[in-house]
Amino acid sequence: MPSIVKPLIPLNPLPKNDLGLTVRDYEGAMSTLCAGCGHDSVTAAISHAFFELSTPPNRIAKLSGIGCSSKTPTYFVKGAHGFNSAHGRMATIATGANAANRELTYIGISGDGDSLSIGLGHLMHAIRRNINMVYVIENNGVYGLTKGQLSASADIGSAPKKGDANLLAPIDPIMLGLTLGATFLARSFSGDKEQLIPILKAAATHRGFALIDVISPCVTFNDHEGSTKSYKFVRQHEVKEVETDFVPLAVPIREKIPSDEAKAVTMHDGSVLRFRSVPDGYDPSDRMSVEEYIRDRQSRGEIATGILYVNESGAE
Amino acid sequence: MPSIVKPLIPLNPLPKNDLGLTVRDYEGAMSTLCAGCGHDSVTAAISHAFFELSTPPNRIAKLSGIGCSSKTPTYFVKGAHGFNSAHGRMATIATGANAANRELTYIGISGDGDSLSIGLGHLMHAIRRNINMVYVIENNGVYGLTKGQLSASADIGSAPKKGDANLLAPIDPIMLGLTLGATFLARSFSGDKEQLIPILKAAATHRGFALIDVISPCVTFNDHEGSTKSYKFVRQHEVKEVETDFVPLAVPIREKIPSDEAKAVTMHDGSVLRFRSVPDGYDPSDRMSVEEYIRDRQSRGEIATGILYVNESGAE
Amino acid sequence: MTITHRGSERVNDFAVKLANVNGTGSASANSLLVQAIFRMGIPVSGKNLFPSNIQGLPTWYEIRVNGNGHTARAIDYDLMIAMNSQTYAEDIADVHAGGYVLYDSSWPLANDLKRDDVTFLGVPLATMCLENFQKPRERILMKNIVYAGAVAALVGVDVTVAADLLTETFAKNEALRESNQRALRLGYDFATENFECPLEFHLEPMDANADSILIDGNTATALGCLYAGATVAGWYPITPATAVMDNFTRLCAAYRREKIPSDNPDEPPTYKNNYLIIQAEDEIASIGMVLGAGWSGARAFTSTSGPGISLMSELLGLGYYTEIPAVIIDVQRVGPSTGMPTRTQQGDILMCAYASHGDTKHILLFPANPHECFEFAAQSFDLAERFQTPVFMLSDLDIGMNDWVVPRLTWDDSYVPDRGRVLNDTDLAEIAEFFRYTNEDEEFVTPRTLPGSASKGAYFIRGSGHDKYGRYTEVPDQYQEVIDRLKLKHASAAPHVPAPLIERHEGAKVGIITVGSCDLAVREAIGDLAGHGLATDFLRVRGFPFVPEVREFVEAHERCFVVEQNRDGQLRSLIAIETGVAPERMTSVLAYGGFPLSASQVVNSVLTQMEIA
Amino acid sequence: MTITHRGSERVNDFAVKLANVNGTGSASANSLLVQAIFRMGIPVSGKNLFPSNIQGLPTWYEIRVNGNGHTARAIDYDLMIAMNSQTYAEDIADVHAGGYVLYDSSWPLANDLKRDDVTFLGVPLATMCLENFQKPRERILMKNIVYAGAVAALVGVDVTVAADLLTETFAKNEALRESNQRALRLGYDFATENFECPLEFHLEPMDANADSILIDGNTATALGCLYAGATVAGWYPITPATAVMDNFTRLCAAYRREKIPSDNPDEPPTYKNNYLIIQAEDEIASIGMVLGAGWSGARAFTSTSGPGISLMSELLGLGYYTEIPAVIIDVQRVGPSTGMPTRTQQGDILMCAYASHGDTKHILLFPANPHECFEFAAQSFDLAERFQTPVFMLSDLDIGMNDWVVPRLTWDDSYVPDRGRVLNDTDLAEIAEFFRYTNEDEEFVTPRTLPGSASKGAYFIRGSGHDKYGRYTEVPDQYQEVIDRLKLKHASAAPHVPAPLIERHEGAKVGIITVGSCDLAVREAIGDLAGHGLATDFLRVRGFPFVPEVREFVEAHERCFVVEQNRDGQLRSLIAIETGVAPERMTSVLAYGGFPLSASQVVNSVLTQMEIA
Ligand SMILES: Cc1ncc(C[n+]2csc(CCOP(=O)(O)OP(=O)(O)O)c2C)c(N)n1
Ligand SMILES: Cc1ncc(C[n+]2csc(CCOP(=O)(O)OP(=O)(O)O)c2C)c(N)n1
Ligand code: SF4
Ligand code: SF4
Ligand SMILES: [Mg+2]
Ligand SMILES: [Mg+2]
């Protein structure tokens, strides 16, 4: 059943962490997302990261807003305390929780709609306050749960960009973070667990606000304009009754992102994203050069991934 | 009476513009702001700009949010159509008005509280949509109308910055605008009419979203930490009953900002801001170099003013 | 001929429930059946009971056929199409004794699921599709059409009608047309060969639908907005309101694009959009945009659901106090909070009536079906501009997202929008001075001007205290003068909102008041109650502020029941507050579990509370 | 001895109004007078009628002295201190015939301003200050103290008391102390030399204030929050609520900072804040932070006014439905929209009772004065945690920002906060399983756990549909089971909120119901009405949900008046909805112009409506 696809788990016998727990203890309820949804891969990575960090499940507070992405906290670390709040408001709830109890590890899961539209102001002020938490944006460029409207990060990945850049410029949380003096900024791809897990671990150990923008494709409403396999295209060119509620089963995309070259990854809708992870020796501490690096890669149609910026001095 | 200080007006006989109107026709009701408030100087500059542009008053729509700054649209161009809306929402109202009638010249007046706290998300999305309007932030680093709380731009001008930069980093609308692909970004100082008026005229003629961040000191709640003449200091070191409602009469600060050197201007609270306007031949079209220039100046404790970035191609 | 019961035979009076897995394409098959039955001229309804999920969770579809037009939700099922193994147990339990269960017999049915008081009809759907179709995608999709074929045979759907529908649907797609036709036949033939078709409950053609159409409320609402001439919309996606804007967008693209032929004959013409639909960053921005556009003279609206109204509260007060036309479509869903986004409720009535802090009162319209959605949506704009204030149309998920058989939508082409009192430059030239809140008419409306008009008409809108001249004030009398007029203005709208529908019955001492989508169930219930010897009168509220008839109705009856779909009896409260009648004269009949109301819920509750049950 | 009227002489019964220019430092002088009168043991009130402006606009201050303790706003003035030339005309007109006007005679008074039925007392304030003070700043500031001195002489304020006050105030500032003393004397001596002092209405010492203090509601509220142990606050500045947080911040800095001595004796100790007050980016964030902190077990609150509540609506529903303790202080101001931010009203009653979409109901507390602000603020936290839900305390600008004479604040040091049902790890160890919404007590409250507790107690809060186990659900019964309990839980709070205050009078057939800051004016009015031969009983609502007494009171009287400060009679509506009594049994007496209520408004309205006026 598509609804019971589980995050991949290692072969038995399951290894144990310092607490004597297995990765199973860091999983949660059965996912009800679409088969192949990028979010499920992120969920799996989170389970692994906390497992490897040996974080006591009950010392984790997992929060979210509203959206397919925001449903995922139910799917990891069942022993953690969870709060699936309201659309766009997770950062404010996390801020208050943090004020009341600074001893827990806070992880917030959000979507691009949740964080870059309705919740944008809160996200920016949480960055400014450097709230001690991991903030994951599962970024798919669409509003998944409401069936595929474009989000404010919409043309992430649609290369070349469509339309008037000044009218449709996507909002890039990493760039905003740099402007706002964020202390930890990373970008990754749901399909690359090898990269994502270490980033999650680094973020969880960072004292301060750690923002991770994870490109996490929506297999169902991969709605880039002009994509001939896109949901929108089907809606318009085939017949409503037949297609609207048919969600073909898809498999999650998995790719290892190299640093020596850009890796081209084909999305479910046929569009191609070109990922590159930062090279060895990359210096994530100088804001200006970081920005230049990202923009330079962008200008080549590449998405730079990895831990892009860190400022531990600023950590609380 | 402090309450009837009027924007300075030229000596009679008043010159007429192409419409045969004098600058008087571009003024509005009597200001009820504090004597010497920077906002009144901005008001005067706006009257002059529209007068010089010979814009028919009835073709101007002036909007604002809530705050001392947002009160000012009543004080200019009485013949224009005005909308003093709700706190932080002016950008959304202007967007809707623009959708209904694209023939008018829209000018929105806001404050740093109005735009960078409660209204931040709307401002950013208005920039992203490149709404055709002039958007003025009368930036004083405090919440004037509610009596002097620090705003999100609080330490603008308090050099050296206080506290943990990562906790208190001011939100800089110009930097945000650059990140978001804004098409017109300028910064000025309420005290320099010679600079402000041309910027306002350029903004009004720009087809797209023109953001002007005007540093406009609050004479009453100039609340920079550690300023020994600050309202807060008085409150703490003298006696509440006597001082809270006493607002000393002040005169507006006037300074011409040169481009060859940085001009040090002393604020009402004794703190010093160092302004510099962009040099002749400065290229406002290259985003990256613009950013470098601004940051470079910042690093020297200077505030770069003038038309900092323009992208006419992006104009709608 | 409507319903007939000959012995065990039941014609045009039964209910089918289809249990599917979300995202497997069953909607196509289900609506094919409803459309076919509709074309056979028989009153029918299809209700989609779906989860807040995109793929994999259980979802249900209910088809009710009733020759007498009682097509509210039936909660007792003659035939279950059990396509979801996850929910076999509950679905099979859901069929009434003597009913039937159709399931996919490609796999045997576990014994513990068997019931001996129902008949199991096994159709090897998976196997049939495996044998008859190649593409894996088809093999999944076509299962739906195959069971549709089987159902057609079982209940007597005219298979040629169904076939025609498929032909029309796939006119442009040969391949799909062929495979769908084949699938339909497969199911139909299998059933006729293996089962006694039709079953004792079945269809016989009527012609009850000659002047009707099958349409959902959100589409009808979008049409109403289009006909009313709405040109600006600001919105934020939210279930179940999203389809209003999807449809409005589609319609505008089709009917609101101006063709501008290019001077150069070789070049193609260009198009100008005479509308602007903005997907805002949130609901606060949505209503802000609507107010900005309304201020500027455009007919503007937003569509949202409960959470959106909560967020809009502050600006709704701004619109009320500054007197700006705005139309808000609230397609209600289950609250509080995020609640059950894909389930129906009428829980925003009180909030919408008084949305915002301070003393505010809004105009509300309550459609009961897509036909009224069409009419009331259009009327909302007239009311908003006539009374210069936000107007709410409260639809709900049941109306908005389900297909209803309603009278054909008609539009009076002589319709002239009521733009309210707006002074243009000529008007201004004729008056000495203009002050925004002076010169009120007998409905306490004062003329406004639009931005851009001559400076004589320029004024300064403010949400802060203002006098009737529009000037800033903090003087008590001047402030009160304005808000007192607002209260009177609101009251004057009563005769202009849709009048309540009243139906009296011989000797009825009991009255039943209801609203919106409760309509069909309550009407059916009134019949059933009569059967139980209880005559009741009927009143359906369709607009707020209330006309005197509402109060009179309550007072004219020894006892009144107020049927509504929320927990706290919000309509009852609103009637008490606004008409002055004692809440105690009105007994609540409440259903708020999230599924559309059914007559039996009303009948049971009324009878129990009358203590004659 | 309280009030005496000997011939024309009136002791301890008069009103003075002071007309000033905003931002000129008059508040100091005005409160100096009130404090001095207070110290003389005489009941007094000072009401600040100020504009939404920082400098330059007119502002008024009213002092009412009444030996019987009737210190509600008096709207007829014996003495006017006319310090604002802009408003001379209206201010002079405001004095009743036979009254006095004190003005700055440094400039002659225009003839058209003269009235021959009042006595003009010219004091050359500007000139005196010019001659006696050097610094320009002093010359402006001291004018205020000079007129204070004159007033002291005119109404018989004990000048040594006033002088002592100045000495205490400026204990730390020699220069200021000296100049203030001099200014006071200047005014006092000028008056005694030039006018017949005291005037026929004047003060005589009493001993009514032995157990009283002079305090404003916002300070008292902050104290209540401190005593209740609030440790987290999220807020956004808004008049008139800002001072609540200003004071809470000041108090926390003084009493909530833990001194951590450094190991190295040479180094100074460091301090740890056992509290966190966050100035949020807006009100939505404020309530979000409060809910986050409440979820985590802190006593958290926010303070705001109408517009803030509107913005919080959505999250208030989340708090209600997920059952998180939260305290919201609403210091009401004039709405709708921005309205008159510096004026008072009671316009948020209905909104707060039902804030948010869907079916929601909140607990409300209605303090009438700073003393109740202190007690109710503290109690709000107990109620919020006991009932695991948002609790609103509805203060208003009159209570919050004016100085009131109230009984000394007392605190029972044996107070143990009611933290409600929270399971810690030991508790968890004793139970087999934990499910968030099971195991309810007789008040329908279910135990919760806090983040960080053992995984056995871990659960997943969601604003979406959930069953009693806290699991996601879309099943009608499971959803209803939870919200039905919420309704019962809300009802169970009735006996725990502050009980209504009831005062019966011999033979009264008429009842007067009121709320909050109407208290003093209504009590005074009841006396006056008795004087007019109308005996009335008194009930002041202090909490919602209502106890049965409220309903019984209405039913026990032939007629009830509901006195409140809003346009739409919101309390009356709430009583009707929630108790079931007919709204018609309650007649509204409404004042909503933005100034504090005065007895005469109530008396006139009641008498007119009783048709015996
Ligand atoms: C106040 C409010 N407005 C709108 C919605 C409807 N809504 C639910 S999820 C969602 C957007 C989800 O998009 P995103 O955050 O990108 O998450 P995704 O589903 O793409 O993972 C919206 C608009 C809501 N729940 N609440
Ligand atoms: C929703 C809402 N919250 C709070 C307020 C109170 N308020 C009025 S003005 C203001 C801030 C003004 O600051 P700014 O925008 O910087 O303007 P300034 O007075 O400094 O020019 C606030 C918080 C309000 N009017 N509405
Ligand atoms: S709709 Fe898209 S985002 Fe949502 S679950 Fe399905 S694939 Fe994931
Ligand atoms: S308070 Fe400050 S911002 Fe407001 S009017 Fe006075 S000087 Fe200007
Ligand atoms: Mg998304
Ligand atoms: Mg400011």
CB atoms within 10 A of CB B134: 28
B74 contacts C472? CB cut-off 8 A? yes
C-alpha C115/C-alpha B256 separation (Å) is 92
**Residue pLDDT, tens place only, C27-80:** 999 999 999 999 999 999 999 999 998 889 999 999 999 999 999 999 899 999
Average pLDDT over residues D28-40: 96
Helix or strand (DSSP H, E) at C225: helix C217-228
Alpha-carbon gap: D256 to the closest alpha carbon of chain A (Å) = 14
| DSSP string for residues in D343-381 | S-----HHHHHH-SSSS---EEE--SSHHHHHHHHHHHH
Question: Are B66 and B30 spatial neighbours (Cβ–Cβ below 8 Å)?
Answer: no
* Touching partners of C (3+ C-beta pairs < 8 Å): A, B, D
Pocket flag, ligand 4, residue B37 (CB < 6 Å): yes
For atom 1 of ligand 3, the residue with the nearest CA is: A144
- Write the residue in D232, D314, D460 that is nearest to A84 by C-beta: D460
Helix or strand (DSSP H, E) at A109: strand A105-111
Q: Does residue C91 carry a pLDDT above 60?
A: yes
Q: Which of A266-270, D72-76, D238-242 has the lowest mean pLDDT?
A: A266-270
Q: What is the pLDDT of residue A241?
A: 29
pLDDT band at B287 (very low <50, low <70, confident <90, very high): confident
C-alpha A21/C-alpha A160 separation (Å) is 46
Average pLDDT over residues D327-350: 98
C-alpha B271/C-alpha B221 separation (Å) is 13
Q: Which of B61-70, B159-168, C597-606 has the lowest mean pLDDT?
A: B159-168
Tell me what ipTM this predicted complex has. Answer: 0.95
Pocket flag, ligand 4, residue B33 (CB < 6 Å): yes
B58 contacts C458? CB cut-off 8 A? yes
Residues in chain A closer than 8 A to B183 (CB atoms): 166
Q: Does residue B3 carry a pLDDT above 50?
A: no
Residues in chain B closer than 8 A to D23 (CB atoms): 2, 34, 220, 245-247
% of chain C surpassing 90 pLDDT: 93
Average pLDDT over residues D69-93: 96
Q: Does residue C22 carry a pLDDT above 50?
A: yes
Residues in chain A closer than 8 A to D318 (CB atoms): 85-86
Q: What is the pLDDT of residue A314?
A: 54
pLDDT band at B235 (very low <50, low <70, confident <90, very high): very low
Q: Which of A216-220, B104-108, D279-283 has the lowest mean pLDDT?
A: A216-220
C-alpha D142/C-alpha D157 separation (Å) is 19
Residues in chain C closer than 8 A to B86 (CB atoms): 314-315, 318, 463
Alpha-carbon gap: D77 to the closest alpha carbon of chain A (Å) = 50
Average pLDDT over residues A90-118: 98
Tell me whether B15 touches chain A (CB under 8 Å).
Answer: no
Q: What is the pLDDT of residue D4?
A: 82
Q: What is the pLDDT of residue D73?
A: 96
Ligand 6 centre from D277 Cα, in Å? 21
Q: Does residue C359 carry a pLDDT above 60?
A: yes
User: Which residue would you say has higher pLDDT here, C512 or B263?
Assistant: C512
Amino acid at B51: F
Average pLDDT over residues B290-316: 84
Ligand 4 centre from C295 Cα, in Å? 29
**Residue pLDDT, tens place only, D486-537:** 999 999 999 999 999 999 999 999 999 999 999 999 999 999 999 999 999 9
% of chain D surpassing 90 pLDDT: 93
Average pLDDT over residues B268-296: 85
User: Which residue would you say has higher pLDDT here, D562 or B278?
Assistant: D562
Q: What is the pLDDT of residue A223?
A: 43
C-alpha D216/C-alpha D344 separation (Å) is 14
Q: What is the pLDDT of residue C548?
A: 98
Q: What is the pLDDT of residue C393?
A: 98
Average pLDDT over residues C150-173: 95
**Residue pLDDT, tens place only, C377-411:** 999 999 999 999 999 999 999 999 999 999 999 99
Residue B316 corresponds to which tokens in the numbers above?
A: 């709608």
Tell me whether B42 touches chain C (CB under 8 Å).
Answer: no
For atom 2 of ligand 4, the residue with the nearest CA is: B218
Q: What is the pLDDT of residue B49?
A: 97
Pocket flag, ligand 4, residue B267 (CB < 6 Å): no
**Residue pLDDT, tens place only, C374-385:** 999 999 999 999
Question: Are B180 and B124 spatial neighbours (Cβ–Cβ below 8 Å)?
Answer: yes
Residues in chain A closer than 8 A to C61 (CB atoms): none
Residue D464 corresponds to which tokens in the numbers above?
A: 């979406």
Query: Could you list which residues have their CB under 5 Å from ion ligand 5?
Result: A 111-113, 140
Q: What is the pLDDT of residue B301?
A: 82
Amino acid at B315: A
C-alpha D136/C-alpha D147 separation (Å) is 18
Residue whose C-alpha is closest to residue D238's, from B114, C598, C523: B114
Q: What is the pLDDT of residue B230?
A: 34
- Residue numbers of B between 260 and 299 with CB closer than 8 Å to C: none
Average pLDDT over residues B70-84: 98
Position of tokens 């920079």? Answer: B224
Mean pLDDT of chain C: 96
Mean pLDDT of chain D: 96
Residue whose C-alpha is closest to residue D610's, from D589, D580, D583: D589
- Write the residue in A58, A74, A85 that is nearest to D453 by C-beta: A58
Count Cβ neighbours within 10 Å for each residue of C412-446 and write b for 16 or more, e otherwise. eeeeeeeebbbbeeebbeeeeebebbeeeeeebbb
Mean pLDDT of chain B: 84
pLDDT band at D68 (very low <50, low <70, confident <90, very high): very high
Mean pLDDT of chain A: 84
Pocket flag, ligand 1, residue A68 (CB < 6 Å): yes
Amino acid at A116: L
Q: Does residue A227 carry a pLDDT above 50?
A: no
Pocket flag, ligand 3, residue A218 (CB < 6 Å): yes
- Write the residue in C232, C449, C462 that is nearest to B96 by C-beta: C232
Q: What is the pLDDT of residue A10?
A: 53
Average pLDDT over residues A149-155: 82
For atom 4 of ligand 3, the residue with the nearest CA is: A144
B96 contacts C315? CB cut-off 8 A? no
Q: What is the pLDDT of residue A231?
A: 33
Average pLDDT over residues C159-174: 94
Q: What is the pLDDT of residue C5?
A: 82
C281 contacts B93? CB cut-off 8 A? no
D463 contacts C337? CB cut-off 8 A? yes
pLDDT band at B242 (very low <50, low <70, confident <90, very high): very low
Q: Which of A11-20, A262-271, D81-90 has the lowest mean pLDDT?
A: A262-271
Q: Does residue A54 carry a pLDDT above 60?
A: yes
C-alpha C330/C-alpha D157 separation (Å) is 62
Q: Does residue D357 carry a pLDDT above 50?
A: yes
pLDDT band at B169 (very low <50, low <70, confident <90, very high): confident
Compute CA distances C559 → C7, C571, C606, C610, whole Å: 39, 16, 11, 10
Tell me whether B102 touches chain C (CB under 8 Å).
Answer: no
% of chain B surpassing 70 pLDDT: 82
Q: Which ligand is nearest to the CA of A36?
A: 3
